[in-house]
Structure 1
Amino acid sequence: MTQPSHSINSFDEWTRLEEVIVGDPASYTSHHLDTSFQLFYLDNVTPDPSIGRELAIPSRLVDELAEDVDGFVQALGDLGVRVLRPQPVTDRATICSPWWNAVETPPLNVRDQTIVLGDTIVETAPHIRGRVFENDYLKPLFYGYLARGCGWLAMPRPALARASLDTGYHDAHDFDLTGLVEDPATRPIPGLGHELIFDGAQCMRFGLDILVNIANANHRLGFDWLRRTLPQFRWHRLDAVADSHIDSIIVPLRPGLLMLRSPDYLNTLPEPLQRWDIMYPPEQDESVFPDYSDFGFNLTSRYIDINVLSVDEETVIVNSLCPDLMRTLEKHGLTVVPVQHRHRRLFGGGFHCFTLDTARAGTAEDYFA
């Protein structure tokens, strides 16, 4: 396995990208539809009892995903970015806990389980049971960074027992939770209550300032932990702008330029960001996406393609299947690098989701001044 050549240094989403971990899709042949998975994706997925607990993904689509990730890695290398990869999954394991069991998820969307904050790796506390040990596939790389002097912290590991997950967001939006809350395949821990459960992609980094989406009691515990553990940053709470991740809603491209899913989100931003130049992406019609209805469903919304990756303040990697989005970004003075990504809605992630940028040129700037 290739080892890191840089020290950990990543404060933002746009300064020159020097080193990055790109997720590995090997063995991503199915989704395990336990209750934690269904609750996490409930904003986009209506559970279908006829599918059962395992959604098999056709091998052709798995192969196409691997081709597209390889193309993404090649594009990053061509741009002078050093790319590191997790250990691939060769045989997906069943994870057994006293409270549940689940099939492990391959380390594809590596943004979700870790935040890099300056010179520190922070492992987060996963929502989905099958992802509890996902970061083990990245640990050879994390130890390489540790040897180079980085900090390395981890949120408390959640038990993810029955009733650990707060359904407040879903209740407020009138989602049907029938069969998901009192799942007989899980066990509760008496007296535990809601746990600290939090994903890295709930955060967006702006130098000294970090935006954090908080949609329920689990997230509030994570937010409080981050503020206490890393007081050198300024933490800005966003109240339920989404059920969890925000990197397909709020996308900073360079200082002073922000892509926002729609004007509906403008007033949710901290006041300094509202003074930035705000661009809005063109609407994506459902007809431009692959149709998986013959065997499954989409995990993400049609806005997933604004989940772009900035290589520097002038250059951004964008799905080549989105010509209108590419033209919009070019009108704002950005150089677009098109890379094909066909099945972003089936596997639940875009280019930002696939990456953990461990070394960027930026420092702890005050971009809100």
Structure 2
Amino acid sequence: MTTPQPQPDPPAQGVHSYDDFTRLREVVVGRADHYTEHDADSSWRLFYYENVAPHLPEGQRRLSVPQQIVDELIEDVTGFADALAACGVSVLRPSAPGKNVQVSSPWWSSGATPPLNVRDNAVILGTTIVETAPHIRGRVFENDHLKPHFNRYFEQGANWLSMPRPALAAGSLDTAYFDHEGIDVTAAMSGEDALPIDGLGLEMVFDGAQCVRLGRDVLVNVANHNHLLAYRWLQRNFPDLRLHRLPGIADNHIDSIVSVLRPGLMLLRSPHYLQFLPKAMRGWDAIYPPPSSVPEPDYDAFGFVIPTASRYIDINVLSVDETTVVVNSLYPELISLLEQRGFTVVPVRHRHRRLFGGGHHCFTLDTVRDGSFEDYLTA
């Protein structure tokens, strides 16, 4: 495999990121320090339900992660950041999270999640930073670790908006996606770990990883009423964007289902998902990821650990440009397939890919790319 050559840095600027595939200039890569525990409150259990439900002990709120696994994750994320820097990308990191941090509101208390999956709580729409509305209570203040960078971008001319912060009180999260799929999530929602707010009802919750950006077009996964409220917010605040409402192709994130590698070519989990994409994309060339021969690590020696990410997490790739893609080095079949299609692959190890809810795309917030307000979907 060939080594990508660093490109000269453009002049300092505010955020400028309209897509996920043109030349990447500046990116935030998350941090996993002190990620030694999951706080499995009801918001966490519902968010990760399809992955954690078969494994979650009844009534257990705190799920520990062995320090050795965390140390190896930190090593792999550091290797990822170094690989991007070697490609000529300016790499930013969040501030260091504290250990055993608790966050609370008048309605609930939860353990804070370190700022690892920075794709979730923000999305860059052109020259605007949008802070989204977290599903998980322990992530409500996570973006504070990115505020030094957001402040700098604002001073350089970026716009900066935030969706309304959700209260995440009891009864505010919608189970409609699971109800439609015939999945009973009653057990996940049981337990008095939050108080209600009279008259609140369902409120806006949404993650940046529910979006696929394509210049003037943005695909938006809407799986329930929480997401619908966010979709309406995006419509009202970004009237120049052409938003495409996807009809709940997943319970939340879609970056392990579809990744646009360049206009006209996408990485797609299976042909089943074509029907949910905009009509203009259904005729695009699609690369379907092959089965992986590399098994997940054997965690028996560590006792109980729980997978939070999809078993398809290794298709959660990050494009450096339209011909260069970062892929988990433990997925040789996808590396080979992409190389056969003419891509330069940057292999980066991610050993514990199912334990922390994200892959290389999830770990990043691409704040500066070369692309602009292009129309990629007009026939």
TM-score (norm 1): 0.96
Q: Secondary structure at the match of 1:73?
A: helix
Question: Against the structure 1 CA distance between its residues 144 and 92, is the aligned structure 2 distance closer, same or farther, given a 3 Å change threshold?
Answer: farther
Q: What whole-Å deviation, never above 9, does each CA across 1:195-239 have from its counterpart, x for those lacking one? A: 000000000000000000010000000001001111110000000
Q: 1:290 aligns with which of 280, 297, 319?
A: 297
Is 1:33 the counterpart of 2:2? The answer is: no
Q: What whole-Å deviation, never above 9, does each CA across 1:28-49 have from its counterpart, x for those lacking one? A: 1111100100000001111623
Q: 2:130 aligns with which of 98, 114, 122?
A: 122
1:166 corresponding residue in structure 2: 174
Is 1:215 the counterpart of 2:254? The answer is: no
Q: What whole-Å deviation, never above 9, does each CA across 1:76-124 have from its counterpart, x for those lacking one? A: 0100000000001122321121111100000000000000000000000
Is 1:59 the counterpart of 2:67? The answer is: yes
CA distance in 2, matches of 1:6, 1:31: 37
Letter in 2 for 1:107: P
Deviation at 1:333, TM superposition (A): 1.2
Q: Secondary structure at the match of 2:245?
A: strand
CA distance in 1, matches of 2:353, 2:190: 31
CA distance in 1, matches of 2:190, 2:333: 44
Is 1:342 the counterpart of 2:351? The answer is: yes
Q: 1:133 aligns with which of 131, 138, 141?
A: 141
1:303 corresponding residue in structure 2: 312
Deviation at 1:173, TM superposition (A): 2.1
Question: Against the structure 1 CA distance between its residues 51 and 80, is the aligned structure 2 distance closer, same or farther, given a 3 Å change threshold?
Answer: farther
Q: Secondary structure at the match of 1:336?
A: strand
2:322 corresponding residue in structure 1: 313
1:101 corresponding residue in structure 2: 109
Is 1:76 the counterpart of 2:91? The answer is: no
CA distance in 2, matches of 1:127, 1:234: 25
List gaps (5 residues or longer) in structure 1: none
Q: 1:328 aligns with which of 330, 337, 341?
A: 337
Is 1:266 the counterpart of 2:249? The answer is: no
Letter in 1 for 2:283: R
2:18 corresponding residue in structure 1: 11
Letter in 2 for 1:296: V
Larger deviation, residues 288-297 vs 142-151: 288-297
Q: Secondary structure at the match of 1:347?
A: coil
CA distance in 1, matches of 2:100, 2:326: 30
Q: Secondary structure at the match of 2:16?
A: coil
Deviation at 1:172, TM superposition (A): 1.9
Q: 2:260 aligns with which of 249, 252, 256?
A: 252
CA distance in 2, matches of 1:270, 1:148: 35
CA distance in 2, matches of 1:275, 1:171: 32
2:245 corresponding residue in structure 1: 237
Is 1:42 the counterpart of 2:25? The answer is: no
Maintained 8 Å contact 1:162/1:187? yes
Larger deviation, residues 185-194 vs 350-359: 185-194
Q: Secondary structure at the match of 1:353?
A: coil
Q: Secondary structure at the match of 2:366?
A: strand
Maintained 8 Å contact 2:42/2:190? no
Letter in 1 for 2:322: E
Maintained 8 Å contact 2:292/2:332? no
Letter in 2 for 1:366: D
1:366 corresponding residue in structure 2: 375
Deviation at 1:182, TM superposition (A): 4.4
Q: What whole-Å deviation, never above 9, does each CA across 1:323-355 have from its counterpart, x for those lacking one? A: 001011112111101010011100110000000
* Coordinate RMSD, CA, aligned: 1.4
